[in-house]
Amino acid sequence: MIARSAKLGAVLGLPLFMLTIASTAQADALVPVDQGWTQADLKEWYEMSAGSRLIPLSWLLALEQPDNDNKFLDDAHIAKFRYLPHVNSGGLPLPLGFTVDTQSDKNLKATKLRWKALQGDTEPWVGMNCAACHTAELTYKGNRIRVQGAPTLADFQSFMAALDRALTATRDDPAKWDRFAARVVGDGVTQEDRARLKDALEQFTARRLRIEAANVAPLRDGYGRLDAFGHIFNDIALSVGAQNPKPIPSDAPVSYPFLWNVPQHDKVQWDGIAPNKPLSLHGAKIDPGALVRNSAGMLGVFIDVNVTSSPIIFGIYSSLKPTNIIAFEDKLRSLLPPAWPSDIFGAPDPTLVQKGSVIFAAQCARCHGSLPRTDLETHFNVTMLPFAGAGENAGTDPGMACNVYATKAASGALRGALKFLVFDPVGDTAPARDLVNIVALGALVKDQRELVDHYLDEIFHIALPPLSLPAIGLPIADHASSPAAGEPCKDNCGAAAMTVAQHRSECLTATDALLAYKARPLTGIWATAPYLHDGSVPTLYDLLLPAAQRPKTFFTGTREFDPEKIGFLTTPSADNDFLFETQTASGDARPGNANTGHEFGSTLPEDQRKALLEYLKTL
């Protein structure tokens, strides 16, 4: 069961670089955390677009909340979903990490909407960038601590549902529609102009509702979690034009990973699916793996991809901005992990820290290697821990890794496309992760000239004159007919018919490198609650308990920090209103929410457990 109170506490925040007015509703003091970024770095991190296009800017500014006539972007409303209210450098009241994307839509598809006379092809849209999901705020006794690269507390699922309800209400409520139309196209426009806007709104809302229906799952994400892979898979399934694709349930939400030191990992994502193999050329860092990984990740965050039935050897048109994606990764190379704020939380006890360091070396170091806070150069291999079979990691919730490993989808217009560097044509269905990679690579192929120019300038500091490069992208084989009917697949060919239980059973018996979760250095781990990949353990103290003794239920949503247990408070309150349940009513682990596994250090006596916690504060 999900418990939500009628009133939600509004926790408001402002960016460090903001030079305009401060919110009178926010009394807490913002405590700066030195992570090596300048004010210019922060502005770019918060506002640079990667090509995400969620909704037209003028529409979002005009949109009202679904149940009243207050603006959708009102600070208190945004704070309900734990996004950080924010005024950007252009004076727009957009939540932190919500960016304005202005690019030509001539070759786009879903976002090529026309709703006013003489509208050009560069109408501004609003989307999200990395900062929306990877910026945290903690509060403690009247202080706010902003941590860059840490997991957000945002409830993406509820935010999107509210946005869709607001769009539907605007479409269906004559009074809301009149106010919306007046704000978007003006009071003095013709009926033809209003009709054009109404058609565009209906078209856009219908698509949003189709996406929402595809992502329906019985499990609520709550604060600080998202099944990003499920959303990416469904977006691709809809984009490739498969007829009547069966939805892929987004039923394995995970905590947003923390981003500091990520460019130094050899593998990225909770299941290690994305390789990182950076190269150094003339002093420049080049990482094609990171570019593909980040591009694929953005596909689930409102990138418009125009996949057609034509061969994709010439690439796929999309709204993706590859050079900005490279810039985000480059930005992370200078992001320091956050240091424990001793002046706010109290300094770690030196005696316990020394004792805890010995325990860490004996209990934890074999999986979680040491990385000094200021070391932003050392490239290291992470430890992958299988969740099946025996061992101290056995029993960890398999949902996320299992879905990535086992999910298949209808290939639609990608039927016949060859997997990267492998002569293996895609059939009627394919692993969803393969389709994501093909689309991401296709989008990058289309932007090859932009990438060539970027790398030539980055490495050799030279620029080519304007020219057209020949397309050299993904090959595509002849379309094969369906083996059953001699026709293209029209109903996903059963690709999504496998039940959750069948998925889990297959994953627990198969042997594959993807069926494991990543252990990484724990530098800055104090700022990344809740814990385990699915966010099922609220504090580090609870994580060091045997699984049977960890909280079976706890509340999430508050930003108020507990420096003793190292995590957020778990008792119910006005702003701590989401009930996280790790078990079903019968006492079985709830799929997607299980808090078992990771039994490392769980047999420590209480005094050693506290010493280890004290040491973890110093990492």
Q: Is residue 530 part of a domain?
A: yes
Please state, in angstroms and as integers, the Cα–Cα distance from residue 20 to each residue in 30, 142, 170, 209, following that order. 15, 22, 32, 37
Q: Which residues contact 422 (CB under 8 A, 6 or more apart)?
A: none
Q: What is the DSSP letter of 347?
A: P
Band of residue 481 on the pLDDT scale cut at 50, 70, 90: very low
Q: How far apart are CA 205 and CA 542, in angstroms?
A: 43
CB 20 within 8 A of CB 91: yes
Average pLDDT, the chain: 84
Q: How far apart are CA 223 and CA 260, in angstroms?
A: 21
- pLDDT exceeds cutoff 70 at 266: yes
| Beta pairing, strands 143-148 & 29-31 | parallel
Full-model pTM: 0.88
Q: Point out which residues pair with 161 in neighbouring strands.
A: none
Q: How far apart are CA 13 and CA 522, in angstroms?
A: 27
How many folded domains does the chain comprise?
Answer: 1
Q: Is residue 200 part of a domain?
A: no
CB 266 within 8 A of CB 378: no
CB 267 within 8 A of CB 384: yes
Q: Is residue 572 part of a domain?
A: yes
Q: Is residue 89 part of a domain?
A: no
- pLDDT exceeds cutoff 70 at 175: yes
Q: What percent of the chain has pLDDT over 90?
A: 60
Average pLDDT of the segment spanning 582-602: 92
pLDDT of residue 429: 87
Q: Is residue 36 part of a domain?
A: no
Q: Is residue 107 part of a domain?
A: no
Q: Is residue 346 part of a domain?
A: yes
pLDDT of residue 284: 65
Angle at 283 between CA 278 and CA 288, to 5 degrees: 25
Q: Is residue 582 part of a domain?
A: yes
- pLDDT exceeds cutoff 70 at 386: yes
Which tokens hold the place of 267? 């593998």
Band of residue 122 on the pLDDT scale cut at 50, 70, 90: very high
Structural domain span for residue 370: 342-395+519-616
pLDDT of residue 420: 60
Please state, in angstroms and as integers, the Cα–Cα distance from residue 378 to each residue in 141, 262, 289, 372, 381, following that order. 37, 11, 17, 10, 10
Band of residue 501 on the pLDDT scale cut at 50, 70, 90: low
pLDDT of residue 421: 53
- pLDDT exceeds cutoff 70 at 34: yes
- pLDDT exceeds cutoff 90 at 156: yes
Phi/psi for 184 (5° steps) reads -85, -50
